[in-house]
A and B are shown apart, each in its own frame.
Chain A
Amino acid sequence: MAVADLTRAGAPAEPGRDGALLAVSDLRVSFQTPHGVVDAVRGVSFAIGRGETVGILGESGSGKSVSVGAVMGLLDSPPARIGGAIRYGGVDLLKAPVRETRRIHGDRVAMINQDAVTALNPGLTVGYQIAEMFRVHRPGTSRADARRRAAELMDRVKIPSARQRVQSYPHEFSGGMSQRVMIAMAIALEPDILIADEPTTALDVTVQAQIMQLLAELREQTGMALILITHDLGVVAESVARVLVMYAGRIVERGPTEEVIARPAHPYTAGLMSSVPRAEHKDRKLATIEGAPPVLTAIPPGCAFHPRCGRSRPVCSGDRPELEPVTSARDSACHFAAQVFDG
């Protein structure tokens, strides 16, 4: 069913799809809240192959973080209601028992969070927290061995004087150093896939570049795949080969990063591009997207973007556009994708 969905969408073969490591199909997530049902993710499908890099681009509330939350098994239900399938190596992460998914989470699929400072336990040493990865996922690892490998990992993520700082507590680390500790934990077991959820948003600009540089180096060394969640077009442009653009819980456009940036095929993507300052157009006034992202308890019918879209026609509020191919490598969910693509 899930695979059939992908083919029905008619999207041509993307690199890595056939031998997909992780395949998300028709993922739906909603939350019960005092003010109604929040539809956070409304049918998202994507796949990632070995060694691939994919960016998920979207504003806050677009559903990108909730999607990876579902992948990592972080959503409590209730209040979350989750539908669809997330397959990793023959296991459906949404249906498999916890003892099975636990072997994948942190081990084969690892994640680093936006705010490393709060994601570290203030009461335990960073060495303990890194070593715990081995103790939990590789039973039989001795305490001393785990600690030694924790120090090696801290060295590897370029934490200065790692050996002395194994015994330090998180509050003794800066934001950037905390993020390095998170990365050390994530790569500890050499995962197939690293999910980075806004890994640099909470950091200073100079530190951001260092962290992205480190991630790129580690990826080169280990060959792991990378899913990068971000709202930052610049980060996407520099770090990933493919990009998915999300809006109001759905993928509205996807394709190779360079192509999507150079020639968007969805009005929302086009809007995002023109709101980024560029050196070559420095005399031009920056455009913004009119209006605000929809309230998730009341998503507009048809294309969710239509109230903010300059090209909106009656059909846009009536029919919801599906993700369909624009070129062999590109998909867009817009009734007028061809016109947008052609400028």
Chain B
Amino acid sequence: MKSVRLWFKKDGLAVYISHLDMNRCMTRAVRRAQIPLWYTEGFNPHPYMTFLMPLPLGQAGLREPLDIRIEDDMSFKEIKSRLNAVMPEGIEIVDVAKPVCKPNEIAAAQYEADVIFASEEEAAAFADGAAKIITSGVLNAEKRSKKGIKTVNLCELVRSFEVRANGNTACVKTVLAAGNTVNLNAELLLNALNNSLSANPEKTVIARTGLLREDLSIFE
């Protein structure tokens, strides 16, 4: 038995696949690729497969980790090419490697978001206002957690934040707390910014570009 970390990209049509559906989708892909999966030995055997960081519905992910276990030895190159041959549109395996970091080392995630407005003025106003709010260090919003809904200061979960207006679009680059203990969904942050700025974008496109450790080094 051997642990393997798959790194996949999910964009285009695939952003509409929910996390739960992703699980089923990947299990089937691995089966189609005839990768010698290791199955749990319980009453209901199922393949070992763990998504380290669920991706919210509607967001793209450029480099998302998925851990699997295989029974026989198969080269990483072989796994990658077999999987890519059977993947549905919008999902691609970008890398296959030995797991380096432990799953609980994920502490932050990097995002790029395009907040698209009807006019250049609105985009500029959003960029200006958002930067000021983040600098001020206070942005209270209701956040759902396992214990219920409570108001938190989102700025405390923002590790870095850059925004610039480019035509109708406000381009955001941000690093947010991520992981099992504290986690901030980029959509929640952008919605809170919109609310406090009374901004009304036509569309928002969010992509998670990578996962980071506590010291902001790349999670591998």
Q: Are A and B interaction partners?
A: no
Please list the residues of chain A having a beta carbon within 8 angstroms of any beta carbon in chain B.
none
